Structure formats: C-alpha cells, structure tokens
Amino acid sequence: MDTDFDIVARPYDFISRLVFGDALVRAQVSLLFQISPESRILIVGGGTGWILEEISKIHPSGLEIIYVESSSKMIELSKNRIRKNNNISFINAPIESYQIEKLFDVIITPFFFDLFKNDKIEILFSGLNEKLKKDGLWLYTDFVPTKYQTKIWQKLLLKTMYLFFGILSKVEASELVDMDFYFTEKYSKISDRWFYGKFVRSITYKKILM
C-alpha cells in the first residue's frame, strides 16, 4: 500500500500550524543557511513546497534543485511557489524510482522517514546515501524517535498523528525509528537542534565516507 498525501495536500500546512504553530517551519529553516552557493540539492518529500521559497530567500539564484514528491497534488502546489532564479526540476514519483545523473551536494529530508517502517527505511536510506557526494550535507528534520519520548503528551500526539495519517494517507508506520543508527557509520554530526519541547529534531550530517 503506497502512501498518498493527495487528499490532505491543500489543508496540510494549515493542519501543521494549527497543531505545531511555526515550530516545524523553524526547525527546517534553521538548517538552510548551511547550503553553499551553486549547490546541487535533492529535496525528498518537500510537501507543499514552501521550503523552496525559504531557500530562495537565502540563494535567489545559482542553485540546481531536484524536488522529488510522490503526491501529485503536493507537486501542483509546489510549482506555484516563488522560486526566484534557481533551476528547479519537479519529479512526481517515489524517491526509490528516481535515477540520478550525478551526485548531490545537499540532501534534504523534512519529516520523511517518519512515514515508513524500518525495513523500508533501510532501502530508502541506502538509496539516498548513494546519491550524496563525499563531504556533502544531509539536512535532516523529523520527530524524535519513540524510544526517546519521555512525556505523555508526546506519545499521545504521535499516536494521534499516525492514526490520522494512517487513515487518510495510508501511512504504514506506527512508531518512529531511531535514524541515528543509519547515520553513525558514514556521517559526522555538525549541528543538532531541538524544537517543540524536544519533540522535533533538526540535524546537519556531513558525509565522511562513501
């Protein structure tokens, strides 16, 4: 069963702000200043595309961005965003089916891995890792893994989110996987910030081994 965010595409940002205020936006934007000029960037699961406008505020031109999103409705919304003079290609497909021509300087995965179970994450992570250059940056933002949640409200909110998106968007996961396990071997952590009562984490990883 494939995840499908078409039905929630238009109200998605409203729902996010209703629940989290601007915390999820701030968490993602906090990483964008580490993008260098002239970078080749892969964005996976960028949602409605507001992140493109934030990137363009920092780099109005000179970037090559490949925007991969499996929801056709999300792609439609993203194409209407202000992009300045950056070169942006939109790919409406699951990331595992996207074949690259050359490696990326930066990979951005905002709230992406929380959609999947561990066996699928292993495949997705391996594929993305192969797409990033040595010394490239991986800008990772997601909810804190289930095993680190110590507050009742975090557990209740997480269960509510999974129930909601499980029904409407066919999200297969029911708990958060600890992604540190995947990054440990080949990546160095160069920044680490927490948001929304330590329920959200934004990390910059640098690839040190191919």
10-residue averages of pLDDT along the chain (210 residues): 84 95 98 98 96 97 97 95 93 90 96 95 96 98 87 93 92 92 96 96 95
The pLDDT value given to residue 24: 97
User: Which residues, in sequence order, are CB contacts of 49 under 8 Å at separation 6+?
Assistant: 67, 74, 77, 78, 79, 80, 81
Q: What is the pTM (predicted TM-score) of this model?
A: 0.95
Residue 175 is part of which domain span? 6-207
Q: Is residue 1 part of a domain?
A: no
CATH of the domain at 86: 3.40.50.150
Per-residue pLDDT at 82: 85
Query: How far apart are the C-alpha atoms of 121 and 95, rounded to whole Å?
Result: 12
- Which residue stretches of 3-65 are H helix? 12-20, 23-32, 50-58
- Report if residue 158 sits inside a domain: yes
Count of structural domains, the chain: 1
In this predicted structure, what is the pLDDT of residue 1? 52
Sheet containing strand 85-91, strands side by side: 85-91, 61-68, 40-44, 104-110, 132-143, 200-207, 187-195
Instruction: Measure the CA–CA gap between 132 and 77, rounded to whole angstroms.
Output: 27
Position 14 scores a pLDDT of 94
Query: Count of residues for the chain?
Result: 210
* 106: in domain: yes
CB 49 within 8 A of CB 68: no
Residue 146 has a pLDDT of: 77
- Crossing angle between the packed helical segments 12-20 and 23-32, to the nearest 10 degrees: 100
